[in-house]
Chain A
């Protein structure tokens, strides 16, 4: 019986594609309509939507809480800038990424992360997770002669002739007059970050997680503490023999050794104070932005209500399309393509998401885990000890997932295809994570860019997974029905009216 239903669905999909091919006939339309009744069960879609919203609320709530813990750790470090508190602040940053990474599947659909009014693309995502960071705008970065040529005057006034035209160091930082830390006439304030965060051309590259990451870790330099000269990519990153290997950048404690507190007040001319101040402002903005997003998913919030309230098949398909768009776009375009393939194929191993902390292996894992969370309707919590196991489970969700929906719709073959694809992806990202934890961070993993590397497998698997996600959309006839709904109901009597 299951097999027959599945076959009928497959036939319906075929006829739908024919209709899309321009050969629309009344018979295939009838078949689509008949099948639509079978594959879309509004009550079951409602259950998928509720679970999906529950997971969003749980992950964003955990993201807010871990950001607040990061804020606390930064405050402790600021008030008592010891090596121990420095390490604790970095750890708190890494922990904060664990729930946030699992939320990225909620992007690409005008949900609160990407849109403040659920129609325009103006959400706080760029402020939260802006990348690549414009670190040269924030604080000193190291340069070398061979990279840019000695005849070049640096982009920052401090790069001109400091240390013989070579690397900029903390010792030379008092001259770094054209970055935010070094130019002490610039007021490091909430306004500063807000001003640059939402501007037209995404010059929001001084806010969010990665700005704090840069100030905690600094540049991820090579074995000699130098930058690459752009010719030998193998030398761009630390090799296995480096003592500081797989730990990202090496910002010295001296950069942050002077903090401020109730007794030692903030001194806007002190560079160490300014770095702490920047992080203080950035983490507060991060918390505020994440809170806005979280609140959009809260029970009774207008976005959540709109997302979970459906009564017709068309509305059900629209909402399923939104979930599947998030899953498919994150899998294929964003994670496999924009974040991994560009680094892999262009031999640009520095071009990684969390380049300062060498935490890119977790970005990959967590993004991919978010996709499977949406599919299975499960959220296991996050890893608060960074040992590879989700142990903060107070908000864990176990609900009605797309897997349950497909099973109840009799689409069992499709469900097993999807599970196989997700498992293949998981195998690949676990392998990336294992290698990184054993001392080979993502940037080193892709130096050779060969098909035997887990990054290659992960890219392939994520793309294959997105094809199955598209198959799910087709099986649910999302293409067939939702396309034309409100596309061109224009009132041309009034050409200026919205349509």
Chain B
């Protein structure tokens, strides 16, 4: 059961010494360089070579077919990056450009059609894709391609398309719009909101009903532990109709799992549209890198992109670029990324901040602790007391954060609660402290101030704290 059972989410449980090690025995030290792509220290020695083999596939660049390295070709034909860790930098986030002239790399754009007919939208939510893709561009914008002119950055996507070569779908940029936020005590802070700016769109018009969602690549540590949180614990936290009247609903997405060929609860992804590591890693291979695999056995081209479909692939004899055994290497690599140890647990300010985290209501969604289920496949990750600070549930976050784009059962204003473990290290991991799904917040404080919808009450409690109290709370979050 969740750690908070027996008390309400605004009560303050006594500190547990185990909180210092958020991943239990899968907690990593952070020296000498903070990173989120480190092996869990308790991974058995004889499994470590497989971990690093998986890391090779996640790290080394995929290249365009044909090459001599059969296990590494098949990139694209259109794609977002050459390898997982190109965007999940050192296992952490991608970087959103601060200026409007640097094309997006790492963050990406998801898209799909939003129709007025509720029956069509319900059918989409109940389809294996979960969305109605744009007829030409699909449900993800691929901003790179294998065309030589693009590789050498010698021509824009439009010019490449005019030369009858397979072009990136577009280049994506963001424009930032600043707005002020004033605390009740008069202190002012500047917030910024991104506006997506697509240029050199190469395959014609988007459908009029297509909606876009800008996404920063999230960190990938500790996901094997999240996968082992007992389903009953999450179901117990869900309150879809807000039966307890606390203003917070929280529900599980319902998504298609191609591995088990069943509908499952969603746990991973910004909108919890993937059920487990197999699905999220496999879909990223197909859509982000253009590597077909057993769960997503296609190239990222639509039927309206025939040139893309005709490109040479890197398929093996089973018709896949990434066979199942190699896919499993990468999913197991991802499962076994350790969680960084807490910093400054005994710092006086951090200790002062901890109660405010609970009394402000943060813990209602950022549920602190769980005990992972026993696992025969990953025994070292089972039965661990972990502190991810998430309920992995969807919450309506209000109009300011909404992307207006449903995904399976998730609405256009719902987002999955992001885990907070390691969150204070993000700046050190890749030089960027961008928080929230689109990286708009450049600090924990800004992230809190964007919380709306179900989180509005918690935000208001935060803004009514004194400046010192707010600082303590933030320092607590940064220590997680």
B53 close to chain A: CB less than 8 A: yes
How close is A440's CB to chain B, nearest CB, in angstroms? 18
Chain A residues whose CB sits within 8 angstroms of the CB of B51 once the complex forms: 337
Which of A46-54, A348-356, A389-397, A417-425 makes up part of the contact surface?
Answer: A348-356
Interface pairs (13), CB distance under 8 Å:
A22-B21, A121-B90, A132-B63, A133-B67, A153-B311, A186-B154, A231-B317, A337-B48, A346-B71, A479-B29, A482-B31, A487-B425, A488-B347
Interface residues of A in 224-278 (CB under 8 A from B): 227-231, 236
Q: Given contacts A132-B61, A230-B70, A338-B53, is CB(A179)–CB(B148) below 8 Å?
A: yes
Which of B79-87, B199-207, B213-221, B239-247 makes up part of the contact surface?
Answer: B79-87
A199 close to chain B: CB less than 8 A: yes
Which of B270-278, B356-364, B394-402, B441-449 makes up part of the contact surface?
Answer: B441-449
B65 close to chain A: CB less than 8 A: yes
Q: Do A341 and B31 touch across chains, with their CB atoms under 8 A apart? A: no
Which of A31-39, A140-148, A365-373 makes up part of the contact surface?
Answer: A140-148
Q: Given contacts A132-B61, A196-B152, A337-B52, is CB(A152)–CB(B341) below 8 Å?
A: no
How close is A462's CB to chain B, nearest CB, in angstroms? 9
- Closest B residue to A319 by beta carbon equals B32
Q: How large is the interface on B (under 10, 10 to 19, 20 to 34, 35 or more residues)?
A: 35 or more
Chain A residues whose CB sits within 8 angstroms of the CB of B478 once the complex forms: 488, 490, 492
Chain B residues whose CB sits within 8 angstroms of the CB of A228 once the complex forms: 70
9 A-B pairs with least C-beta separation: A337-B52, A495-B443, A338-B56, A348-B71, A321-B32, A155-B312, A341-B53, A200-B105, A342-B53
Interface residues of A in 456-492 (CB under 8 A from B): 459-460, 463-464, 467, 478-479, 482-484, 487-488, 490, 492
> CA A93 – CA B61 in complex, angstroms?
24
Return the contact of B431 from the options A120, A180, A342, A487 (Cβ within 8 A).
A120
How close is A163's CB to chain B, nearest CB, in angstroms? 14
Return the contact of B33 from the options A325, A493, A496 (Cβ within 8 A).
A325
Return the contact of A230 from the options B152, B317, B341, B442 (Cβ within 8 A).
B317
How close is A210's CB to chain B, nearest CB, in angstroms? 11
B151 close to chain A: CB less than 8 A: yes
A96 close to chain B: CB less than 8 A: no
Chain A residues whose CB sits within 8 angstroms of the CB of B48 once the complex forms: 332, 337, 463
- Closest B residue to A345 by beta carbon equals B53
> CA A460 – CA B52 in complex, angstroms?
13
B50 close to chain A: CB less than 8 A: yes
> CA A228 – CA B61 in complex, angstroms?
21
Q: Given contacts A332-B52, A499-B427, is CB(A342)–CB(B57) below 8 Å?
A: yes
Q: Do A229 and B66 touch across chains, with their CB atoms under 8 A apart? A: no
Report the interface size for chain A: residues with CB under 8 A from the other chain: 89
Q: Do A22 and B32 touch across chains, with their CB atoms under 8 A apart? A: no
Q: Do B60 and A131 touch across chains, with their CB atoms under 8 A apart? A: yes
State the B residues within 8 Å of A (CB): 17-18, 20-21, 29-34, 39, 45, 48-53, 55-57, 59-61, 63-72, 77, 81-83, 86, 90, 105-106, 144, 146-148, 151-154, 165, 189, 310-313, 315-317, 325-326, 329, 341, 343-344, 347, 424-425, 427-428, 431, 442-446, 471, 474-475, 478-479
Chain B residues whose CB sits within 8 angstroms of the CB of A121 once the complex forms: 90
Q: Do B55 and A333 touch across chains, with their CB atoms under 8 A apart? A: yes
Q: Do A148 and B66 touch across chains, with their CB atoms under 8 A apart? A: yes
Q: Do B50 and A21 touch across chains, with their CB atoms under 8 A apart? A: no
Q: Given contacts A196-B152, A337-B52, is CB(A155)–CB(B344) below 8 Å?
A: no
Q: Do A483 and B31 touch across chains, with their CB atoms under 8 A apart? A: yes
Interface residues of A in 356-408 (CB under 8 A from B): 356
How close is A428's CB to chain B, nearest CB, in angstroms? 14
Q: Do B63 and A152 touch across chains, with their CB atoms under 8 A apart? A: no
Chain B residues whose CB sits within 8 angstroms of the CB of A135 once the complex forms: 67-68
Pick from B64, B66, B82, B443 the residue with the most CB of A within 10 Å: B66
Chain B residues whose CB sits within 8 angstroms of the CB of A488 once the complex forms: 343-344, 347, 424, 475, 478-479
Which of A55-63, A74-82, A201-209, A299-307 makes up part of the contact surface?
Answer: A201-209
> CA A499 – CA B444 in complex, angstroms?
13
Q: Do A463 and B49 touch across chains, with their CB atoms under 8 A apart? A: yes
> CA A121 – CA B67 in complex, angstroms?
28
Q: Do B311 and A155 touch across chains, with their CB atoms under 8 A apart? A: yes
Q: Do A153 and B312 touch across chains, with their CB atoms under 8 A apart? A: yes
Q: Do B315 and A110 touch across chains, with their CB atoms under 8 A apart? A: no
> CA A219 – CA B48 in complex, angstroms?
32
> CA A23 – CA B20 in complex, angstroms?
9
A134 close to chain B: CB less than 8 A: yes
A498 close to chain B: CB less than 8 A: yes
A192 close to chain B: CB less than 8 A: yes
Chain B residues whose CB sits within 8 angstroms of the CB of A351 once the complex forms: 69-72
A445 close to chain B: CB less than 8 A: no
Chain B residues whose CB sits within 8 angstroms of the CB of A202 once the complex forms: 61, 82-83, 86
Pick from A180, A203, A496 the residue with the most CB of B within 10 Å: A203
Chain A residues whose CB sits within 8 angstroms of the CB of B479 once the complex forms: 488
